[in-house]
Structure 1
Amino acid sequence: MTSIIENSPLFELRADIHVAAAPSEIYAVVSDLPRSGEWSPECQGGEWISGAPAAVGSVFRGENLRSEEVVAWAPLVRGVWHTESRVTAAEPGRTFRWMMLSHAGDDQESVWGFDIEPAEDGDGAVLVHHFRMATATAGIHKIVADLDEAERAKFIDEWTSKIAQDLDATLGRIKTIIEAA
């Protein structure tokens, strides 16, 4: 029997929101990863550790914080931890994406991003936030290593819900920040 962890993509989610601002204004905010603590439920911000800020190939070191309540029964990293990611797309006014790196600095098929699309009414733009994990990362494998298949399915279901909530929360916060400026 194949495990749910072998599904590809393992996660693929997106959310969108209308923002009353020009695509260039939206892009300037979402590509400023050190500011992500202002809108992310988990990433508290961080710093660029190589390359020009927000340029393709540049690496960002993020500081993250996860509470005990998040999928409380699962063996997740709790408290503060750090991640590194590499920018994979940076098209001002259109798209900004980054790929999570393993602890060894290798690419993982775990990509976060924002796309900015014209609003149908011509006023402002639609900001799309998305996440795709094509194959389970080393971190996911570690989380589910001691879980039986029913627990693995429960974890994937609850983690999918958590990501969906985080995407929505992030977009709401970004909209508020941009429209208040």
Structure 2
Amino acid sequence: MTGIPQQTDGPTTFLARAEIRIDATPEQVYDTVSDLGRSGEWSPECTGGTWVHGEPRTVGAIFRGDNLRSREVVAWAPVIRGEWHTESEVLEAVPGRVFRWCVLNSARGRQESVWSFEIEPEADGGCRLIHHYRLGRLTEGLAKIFESGLDEEGRKRFVADWNAKLVEDVRQTVERIKVVVEKS
């Protein structure tokens, strides 16, 4: 398992990646990770949610995620605490291989905030789950944070601390998914 980000083209604000081997078929893992309503079983922040548009788990479908962030998470940072919600659109849905979505802005426009689960089969019947997050240009919410009075040093600190938090979140997520899938 690794928290080492992969480089991509274009501007990148945040990048996090983790992977883990799971003793299950790629189809079993995909059926779990594409069921975003179950996210509360493995996500450090998403507590679940509902599909609000389109056929669930298909390209173009929109999911409303319910989230909860404690005061201790990067405690100094001026971010939302407590309950909050996002809407995300499924960008790619290939059973047994990849499930990818982006967070939408308040007008339901796509932002460069992209989450994905990629699944690679292994020769012994298990598979490798890779969870990836990349943020290019700032989202609507992050732009407000950056404009809220953070000076250049504060912005650099925020990017470093928040990326470390994201790396930890994706690591915890794959570990928890492994437990959920292997129990079933």
Whether these two folds match at TM > 0.5 is: yes
> 2:11 matched to which residue of 1?
8
Instruction: Report % sequence identity.
Output: 51
Length-normalised TM-score, structure 2: 0.92
How does 1:43-54 map onto structure 2 within 5 Å?
Answer: 43-54=46-57
Q: Residues 50 and 65 of structure 2 are in contact (CA less than 8 Å); yes or no, is this contact kept in structure 1?
A: yes
Amino acid at match of 1:162: K
1:20 to 5, 23, 37: 23
Length-normalised TM-score, structure 1: 0.94
Unmatched runs of 5 consecutive residues or more in structure 2: 1-9
How does 1:92-131 map onto structure 2 within 5 Å?
Answer: 92-119=95-122, 121-131=123-133
TM-superposed CA distance for 1:99, in Å, is 0.6
How does 1:13-92 map onto structure 2 within 5 Å?
Answer: 13-92=16-95
SS at match of 1:93: coil
Q: Residues 25 and 121 of structure 2 are in contact (CA less than 8 Å); yes or no, is this contact kept in structure 1?
A: no
Once residues 11 and 72 of structure 2 are traced to their aligned partners in structure 1, the CA distance between those partners, rounded to angstroms, is: 28
Once residues 103 and 37 of structure 1 are traced to their aligned partners in structure 2, the CA distance between those partners, rounded to angstroms, is: 23
How does 1:162-173 map onto structure 2 within 5 Å?
Answer: 162-173=165-176
SS at match of 2:56: coil
Unmatched runs of 5 consecutive residues or more in structure 1: 1-6
Once residues 160 and 82 of structure 1 are traced to their aligned partners in structure 2, the CA distance between those partners, rounded to angstroms, is: 20
Residues 88-143 of structure 1 show CA distances to partners (whole Å, capped at 9, x for unaligned) of 00000000011100012111011001000123x53400000000111111211111
TM-superposed CA distance for 1:14, in Å, is 1.0
Amino acid at match of 1:101: L
Once residues 133 and 74 of structure 1 are traced to their aligned partners in structure 2, the CA distance between those partners, rounded to angstroms, is: 18
Amino acid at match of 1:27: Y
How many residues of Structure 1 are paired with residues of Structure 2 in the alignment? 174
Once residues 97 and 11 of structure 1 are traced to their aligned partners in structure 2, the CA distance between those partners, rounded to angstroms, is: 17
Amino acid at match of 1:88: L
> 1:4 matched to which residue of 2?
none
TM-superposed CA distance for 1:79, in Å, is 0.3
Compute the RMSD of aligned alpha carbons. Answer: 1.0
